Amino acid sequence: MKIARPASFVAALAGLALAGCSRPAPDPSAPAKPRVALVLKTLNNPFFIDMQKGAQEAATRLGVDLVVQAAEREVDVDKQMQIIENLIQTGVQALCITPSGSKEVVPAIAKANAARIPVVIVDTRVDVAAATEAGIRLDGFVGSDNYEGGKVAGEYLIQVTGGKARVGLLEGIPGHETGDSRLEGFHDAVKNAPGVKVVASQTANWERDQGFTVFQNMLQAHPEIDALFACSDMMALGAVEAIAAAGKTGKIRVIGFDAVDDARKAIAAGTILASVAQFPSEMGRLAVEDAVKLIRGEKPEPEQKVRIELVTKATVSGN
Amino acid sequence: MSSAAWLANKGRQVGTLLGLLLLGALLSILSPHFLTVSNLLNVLEQTAINAVIAAGMTFVIISGGIDLSVGSIVAFSGVLLASALQAPLAAPLAIAVGLAAGAACGLVNGLLITRGRLPPFIATLGMMSVARGAALVFTEGRPVSGFEAGFRSLATGRVLGLPAPVLAAALVYVLAHLLLSRTRFGRYVYAIGGNEEATRLSGVEVRFHKTMVYVLCGITSALAAVLLTARLNSAQPIAGIMYELDAIAATVIGGTSLLGGSGSLGGTLVGALIMGVLRNGLNLLGVSSFLQQIVIGLVIIVAVLVDSMLKRPGR
């Protein structure tokens, strides 16, 4: 019995000690700052790290205590729900959420509604039908127009290829509003160019390594592919490696989405042709500003569109 | 079991429970939000799904096996259940469809292991991929969402103030505990894990009972899928990724030996609660998800270290 050391205790202590180091203790004499939580899809994607930075800057400027949490895996909708439930317990005054699943996030928002915590949705929209059916209330949306971004990418491809291309597509996870809208925008753009044919379209689940393998397989099946539109840069960057492995660098025009740092470097190097830039740090900033307005009882804009921009070799140098 | 081994086993169980209580005490000091009724119910609700899967996993591990396919079975039975609900079938019938799918996957696992003589690791690794792929093919990768309120009450309902999923998990544990400790089947599970050959020579139908262990694990995975689908109001073909590791972790933290032959459901329940409380507490304290993974990994390692230290003097 004596040697029955409580197993988890030691480890938990170690973890909590680590945790203690990472967060400064609140100063009890200072007036209570408004507490805002930002729940991201994941923190291992530069897009969301930029969003966190923007949010943190706004929080510091506005004197907000910002808590940022994310599940380990982008697709883990239940873990995201658990995080939201737990944050509700800590009495945060506003929640900013990038939904891991457009429908699956709805029950979690219903819980926030019940706890009277305002919710700002960032980047990925909530499924309208599911939201209406559940009768949830959303207090704001901040994000870019993914459909428009896909369309811009498609139009650019038509322009640079002179309207003749055999296109492979790398999709996001099916059922994610962001990927679905980008794809729809792209399809609608190339519909008008009969010479542009989509010969293959598969998901690489937003992942860089899957972008590599899926596109490698696509090239095996369709060696005629001379253009690629990937619904995210991570997948595009994976595909770039597959193109290099096939010895086709420069022969396949790659357009990505998000314009993350690695993609900008690839654009400068010429391995990626262009990427649709979103401004995640601006999304983070606007989301925190909205949250603060909501805490003060003001009404933010119901829809805040964040600009999009096509980054090409000609425009990338500024970064 | 010798009396010394019995004592060591009891000591281990008490130790795990003590670990949970100390963890709770520590979190109560560190966060004012931890020790509230609503948060504790919240933790129980979040733990229910992993706990239900881990119940089936406990049978498998006591029998000396492993089941890596539970997460994929959650996805596969979940999407079948969801499609049945949208057919529309009455909720009890749709749930029966889901459970049958889980049982069928488990049956295939069991037959591959007992008749095909595949190692459990390999058979269930194959099933992990097949069931996941089947779920993706069946749904074309898309989630199946939106169910009637009756079904959703399995997640949103409350009985005597307790969330329905918590009651469901409690019921699973009571039944599973009776099955493991009060029936001949339960004794055989321990015997097979302790010494399969001796059990066979003493006239026990080892192949049948071993197969049933995997069927049982398939059914508990499908039950978890029912709870998860009701909770999210959606069944995703990519649901349950890495759930097998959470279930194995809960079982091992709870003192069940991966070598088979010993373990208990009470221990597994406490193990699942330790994981749930830890995740909840780390969220409440605002710890980054990266650090959370380190902490959970440390807990698993320390729990098993303690286990082996406990066993050494008895040898």
The pTM (predicted TM-score) of the whole model is: 0.83
- Cα–Cα nearest to A233, from A199, A207, A203, A215: A207
Cα–Cα distance measured from residue B19 to residue B7, given in angstroms and rounded to the nearest whole number: 18
Q: Residues A149, A73, B81, CA angle at the centre, nearest 5°?
A: 95
Cβ pairs bridging A and B (under 8 Å)? 187
Which residues in chain A are contacts of B278 at CB distance < 8 A? 8, 12, 15
Residues forming beta bridges with residue A69, ordered by sequence position: A39
Show Cβ contacts of residue B122 under 8 Å, excluding neighbours closer than 6 positions: none
Show Cβ contacts of residue B266 under 8 Å, excluding neighbours closer than 6 positions: B13, B177, B254
Q: What is the mean pLDDT of residues B210-230?
A: 98
> Is the CB of A4 less than 8 angstroms away from the CB of B11?
yes
One domain, residues A132 and A76 = yes
- The encoded tokens of residue A263 equal 């993609």
- Cα–Cα nearest to B210, from B223, B197, B222, B220: B197
A200 is a domain residue: yes
Cα–Cα distance measured from residue A98 to residue A124, given in angstroms and rounded to the nearest whole number: 6
Q: What is the CATH number of the domain that holds B165?
A: 1.10.3470
One domain, residues A154 and A120 = no
B93 in reach of chain A (CB within 8 A) = no
One domain, residues A40 and A55 = yes
One domain, residues A208 and A289 = no
Could you read off the pLDDT of A272-300 as tens digits, one per residue? 999 999 899 999 999 999 999 999 999 99
A318, pLDDT greater than 60? no
Confidence (pLDDT) at A6: 43
Q: Which pLDDT band, with edges at 50, 70 and 90, does B44 fall under?
A: very high
Could you read off the pLDDT of A295-305 as tens digits, one per residue? 999 999 999 99
Give the gap in angstroms from C-alpha A268 to the nearest C-alpha of chain B.
Answer: 32
Show Cβ contacts of residue B243 under 8 Å, excluding neighbours closer than 6 positions: B50, B53, B70, B71, B74, B224
A287 is a domain residue: yes
Show Cβ contacts of residue A195 under 8 Å, excluding neighbours closer than 6 positions: A161, A162, A163, A164, A165
Backbone angles phi, psi at A198, to 5 degrees: -85, 115
Q: What is the CATH number of the domain that holds A199?
A: 3.40.50.2300
Which residues in chain A are contacts of B140 at CB distance < 8 A? 174
Q: Which pLDDT band, with edges at 50, 70 and 90, does B286 fall under?
A: confident
> Is the CB of A11 less than 8 angstroms away from the CB of B239?
no
B65, pLDDT greater than 80? yes
Residues forming beta bridges with residue A258, ordered by sequence position: A277
Characterize A28-38 residue by residue with b for buried, 16 or more Cβ atoms within 10 angstroms of its Cβ, and e for exposed. eeeeeebbbbb
One domain, residues A127 and A239 = no
Backbone angles phi, psi at B302, to 5 degrees: -65, -40
Q: Which pLDDT band, with edges at 50, 70 and 90, does B313 fall under?
A: low
Cα–Cα distance measured from residue A276 to residue A237, given in angstroms and rounded to the nearest whole number: 14
**Domains: count for chain A:** 2
Confidence (pLDDT) at B291: 85
> Is the CB of B12 less than 8 angstroms away from the CB of A10?
no
One domain, residues A130 and A174 = no
> Is the CB of A15 less than 8 angstroms away from the CB of B15?
no
CA A271: distance to chain centroid?
23
One domain, residues A177 and A191 = yes
One domain, residues A177 and A226 = yes
